[in-house]
Amino acid sequence: MLWVNLIMDTLASLALATEMPTEDLLERKPYGRTKSLISRTMVKNIIGHAVYQLIVLFGIMFWGDKFIPDTPSGRNAPLGSPPSAHFTIIFNAFVLMTLCNEINARKVHGERNVFKGVFSNVIFCVIWITTLISQVLIVQFGGHWFSTAPLNAVQWTICIACGLGELIWGQIITTIPSSILPKSFRFGKGEVKPTSIMLTGEYDVPSSSSMAPKPDGATTEKRPGQMLWLLGLTRLQTQIRVVRAFQSVNDSSHPNSLTTSTADRLRASYRRLKIARELEQQKSSWLCAL
């Protein structure tokens, strides 16, 4: 079971998550934020492939000893008996069906050609081939360590046929339109609630705005998404202007750059203007006092 869990969770997710984006992905419309995480197409694929695998596994379990040559039933084997070919076939068929279903899972939007671009993903190919080789070694040489019995050519042929049947069954499922399922067969859908953000005065919000921070401290307000985008764009433009200003000062070859003497004169003028304003404020305060 640890090997099966490793195949279905870790290795399969790593192989499928490394698929590179295609041009069809850019041409497809984006999903809305209120769309379901599990669509009707995904539900159709999950149920369809689960039905196929259950039929195959239960068929081998209860009738495999009757139509598979040299395969005695292992259902009534006493406790502590050696590994049986019957249960090894069930285990092997399930793993091969899972491997073939990984190829089906590469296309989730109803594409027919599930092999398109398969060789462009080196990680997928390496993981898939490594898993297949490891499965062959476990079945043929696992023995008591993995509770498996070696299979003959006929038994391997039946297991491979069950695995390849996943690819054919996947084409049949693709033919079935997703619209036959009710719209309620979608999961993970919900309304996106507005986010509460703490306003602390760090944002450049006009004082006349209803979202401006209150004098008594930080307040919790619900800010619309457009306002957040506008504030972010404004801050980005301000930062760009500051960076360009520093670049223009440091770049001596720039025609509008300030020399050292010019900058000193500007700073001196600013100080004189500041002192003059302070003197005017002091005079006005004295006149008011008189």
Give tens-digit pLDDT for 224-242: 566 666 767 777 777 777 7
Q: How many CB atoms lie within 10 A of CB 211?
A: 16
Q: Which of 125, 155, 180 is the last residue of a domain?
A: 180
Q: How far apart are CA 120 and CA 272, in angstroms?
A: 70
Task: Report yes or no on 53 lying in a domain.
Answer: yes
- Domains held by the chain: number: 2
Reported as a single tens digit per residue, the pLDDT across 36-66 is 778 888 889 999 999 999 999 999 999 998 8
- 79: containing domain: 2-180
pLDDT given for residue 286 in this prediction: 67
Q: Is residue 188 part of a domain?
A: no
Return the SS3 of 157: helix
Highest average pLDDT, of 14-28, 73-87, 205-219, comes from 73-87
- Whether residue 204 is predicted with pLDDT greater than 50 in this model: the reply is no
In a domain, 31, yes or no: yes
Residues 172 and 201 in one domain: no
161 or 211, higher pLDDT: 161
Please measure the distance between the N-terminal and C-terminal CA atoms of the chain and give it in whole angstroms. Answer: 95
Helix or strand or coil: residue 198?
strand
Mark whether 237 and 141 lie in a shared domain.
no
Domain for residue 185, yes or no?
no
Whether 169 and 91 map to the same domain: the answer is yes
Residue range 4-20: average pLDDT?
85
Residues 119, 210: one domain?
no
Read off the pLDDT of residues 135-162 as tens digits, 9 standing for 90 and up.
999 999 998 889 899 999 999 999 999 9
Is the predicted pLDDT of residue 251 greater than 70, yes or no?
Answer: no
Most confident of 21-30, 168-177, 180-189: 168-177
Same domain, 161 and 201: no
